[in-house]
Amino acid sequence: MRAGGKVLGLISRDRLITDSKTVLITIASLIVFIATWFAISIYSNLAYIPPPDKVAVAFFDSFTHKDISLGTNMWDNIFASLGRFGIGFVMAFLLALPLGLAMGYFKLAQLFINPIVEIFRPIPPIAWVPIFLLIFGLFWGPVVVIFLGVLFPLLSNIIFGVKSVDKPLIDAAKTLGANRLQLFTKVILPYTIPFIMAGITIGLGIGWMCIVAAEMIGAVGGGVGFYINFMKDIGRFDFMYAGMVVIAILGLVTVGASRYVENKLNSRMGVK
Amino acid sequence: MTLKITDLVKKFPKEEGELIAIENFNLEIKDREFVCVLGPSGCGKTTLLRIVAGLETKTSGSLHLDGREIMGPGSDRGMVFQEFALFPWRTVRRNIEFGLEIGKMPSAEKKRISDEYITLVGLKGFEDSHPYELSGGMKQRVGIARALANNPAVLLMDEPFGALDAQTRNMMQKELLRIWEQTMKTVMFITHSVDEACYLADRIVVMTSRPGTVKEIFTIDWPRPRDRASVEFAALRKKILAELEREVYDSSSGSVRP
C-alpha cells in the first residue's frame, strides 16, 4: 500500500510539474510577444503600429459602440460575415456530398468530372474575387468565393473516404443480403462520415481565409474583412487590428468546434 | 441443406494467358455436416469459399444449394471472415441485426433474435459495446452471431480464427462446436491448420496446390469433444501433414502432377 501510494504520488507530482511548466512557458511566450509588440510600437512611433493596450481598448469598444461612420458595431459585421460564410459553406456541402459520393463510387463519374476539377483546383479561390464581384455582385461575389474555397477540400475528402471503404465490409454486407442501394446507405455512407467531417474542418479553415480576402475587395452590408479594410482607409488602425483579432478568434472557434464534433463523431463511429 | 459443387473451374486472366486457380473441383456437403477444407497457401481454398458465397464469379461448373443453383451472394449463405469485417460504427447488437435490418424485420422481432444470438455466443453484457472495445475472440463471436442471426442454410467460414492467438483459437474452436451443435447448421470451414481441421471436422477435404482440386477426403467419425493429445488424433494429423507436405514439395520443385 505504502509503495503504491508513493508511486501514485510521484506520478501526480510529475504531471503537476509538466502541467505547470506548460502553463508557465505559454505565459512567458505571450509576455514576450506582447512586450515585443510594445517595443516595436514605441520605437517605430508609427500610426499603423498601435500598442497592444490601444488595440485591446478598441477591441472592446468595437463591440459596445456603433462606429459613427459605418453605423454598425462589430457584432453586425460578424453576423454579416457569418451569414455569407454559412451560405457559401452550405452550398459547397450540398454540391460536394452527392458529387464526391458519385465520384468515389462510379468510376465513370470520376473519370469524367476529375479533369474539370483538376483545372479549377490549383487556382486560389481568392484569384476569382475580381471576376466574381463583377458577375455575382457585392453580396453573392464573396459567397461564391467561399463556396469554391470549401468545395475542393470537401470534395477530395469525400472521394477519398468512399474509395477507402474496407472491402471486407462490403463483402460482409453482401453476404448478409444487402442490395446495391443498401450497400451505399448502410456501409459506404456511414464509413465516409468521418472523412466528410475531416473535410468540413479543413473547409472551414480555408473558407474563413477566403471570406476576409473577398470582403476586403468589396462587400455589401459590411463584414469583418470589410471592417478591417474600412478602418485602414480612415486611419483607425487600432480598430483595424481589433478586426484582425476578431477574425483570429472566430477562426479558432469554428475550426475548434468542428474538430470537437469530428472527435466526438469518430468515437461514436468506432474510429479511434 | 445440401451444398453441391460440380466441376467447378476458376480462371483469372493474367498478362499472358490465364491463371487456373481451381480446376474440376467436386464436393457435396450434406445437411448439418461440418466440412473443413485444408490446403497449402495459394491453393485457391479462399477463392473456392468466396465463389460459394457469391462474392466471386466462377468460370465454369455449377453450384447448387438444395437443388437450387447459386447465383451471386444471398442470405441463405452466411459468411464469417478472417478479418472479422464488423461494422465499426455499429454496436455489437446492431452488427448482429444488420442482416435482419436488410430483411426489413420489425424491431421487436429483431431484438428477440439478436438477444437470442447474443446469448448463444456468450456476449451478454456487451450488446452496446463497439467492435474496437472487444478482443479478437469476442469480435469473432460477433461475426458468428451476425452470420447465424440471418438464419442461413450454410455457414461459410474463411479461416475465422486465423487472426487469433493460439489459446483464444482453441477456446473459439470449442465454442464453435457448441454453437454448431445447438444450431445444427451445415458448415464449410476453410483453414490451413491441420490441428484445427482434425478437431472440428466431420470430413476434411485436402486440396492440391494450384490449380486447386480435391486431393483427398478424410472422414472423421470420432465423437466430440476430441482429445488433441490422443494417439488417433496424432496419427491422423501426421498423415494429413505428410500429405500436405508432399503437395507443397511437389509444387515448389516444379514437378508436374500425374
Instruction: Report chain A residues touching chain B, CB-CB < 8 A.
Output: 166, 168-169, 171-178, 182, 186-187, 190-191, 193, 268-272
| Nearest by CB: B77 against A169, A175, A271 | A175
B146 CB neighbours in chain A (<8 A) are: 172, 176
Q: Is B102 in contact with A186 (Cβ distance < 8 A)?
A: yes
pLDDT digits (tens, 9 = 90+) for A173-203: 999 999 999 999 999 999 999 999 999 999 9
Decide: A223 and A215 in contact? Cβ < 8 Å. yes
Other C-beta atoms within 10 Å of B84: how many? 23
Residues A183-212 as b or e (16 or more Cβ within 10 Å = b): bbebbbbbbbbbbbbbbbbbbbbbbbbbbb
Check residue B30 and give left, alpha or beta (phi > 0: left; psi -120 to 50: alpha). beta
- Of the two residues B182 and A270, the one the predictor is more confident about is B182
Q: Which amino acid is present at B109?
A: E
Over residues B162-189, the mean pLDDT reads 93
Calculate the average pLDDT of chain B: 91
The 3 state secondary structure assigned to chain A is CHHHHHHHHHHHHHHHHHHHHHHHHHHHHHHHHHHHHHHHHHHHCCCCCCCHHHHHHHHHHHHHCCCCCCCCCHHHHHHHHHHHHHHHHHHHHHHHHHHHHHHHHCHHHHHHHHHHHHHHCCCCHHHHHHHHHHHHHHHHHHHHHHHHHHHHHHHHHHHHHHHCCCHHHHHHHHHCCCCHHHHHHHHHHHHHHHHHHHHHHHHHHHHHHHHHHHHHHCCCCCCHHHHHHHHHHCCCHHHHHHHHHHHHHHHHHHHHHHHHHHHHHHHHCCCC
CA-based end-to-end distance of chain A: 35
**pLDDT band, very low/low/confident/very high, at A222 (cuts 50, 70, 90):** confident
The pLDDT value given to residue B124: 93
Q: In the predicted model, is pLDDT for residue B256 greater than 60? A: no
The pLDDT value given to residue A15: 67
Cα–Cα distance measured from residue A194 to residue A212, given in angstroms and rounded to the nearest whole number: 28
Cell reading at A153: 477540400
**pLDDT band, very low/low/confident/very high, at B78 (cuts 50, 70, 90):** very high
Minimal CA separation from A187 to chain B, in Å: 8
Element (H, E) at B116: helix B107-120
The pLDDT value given to residue B1: 74
| Nearest by CB: A169 against B73, B85, B156 | B85
Q: In the predicted model, is pLDDT for residue A13 greater than 80? A: no
Q: Which fold has domain A50-269?
A: MetI-like fold (1.10.3720)
pTM of the predicted model as reported, rounded to 2 decimal places = 0.82
* ipTM higher than threshold 0.85: yes
Residues 6 or more apart in contact with residue A267 via CB below 8 angstroms:
none
Cα–Cα distance measured from residue A63 to residue B113, given in angstroms and rounded to the nearest whole number: 60
Nearest Cα residue in chain A from B152: A176
The pLDDT value given to residue A75: 94
Domain extents in chain A: 1-45, 50-269
Minimal CA separation from A183 to chain B, in Å: 10
**pLDDT band, very low/low/confident/very high, at B252 (cuts 50, 70, 90):** low
**pLDDT band, very low/low/confident/very high, at A4 (cuts 50, 70, 90):** very low
Minimal CA separation from A171 to chain B, in Å: 7
Mutate to test the interface with A, among B46, B47, B55 (most CBs of A within 10 A): B55
Half-sphere CA count of A223, side-chain side, radius 13 A: 26
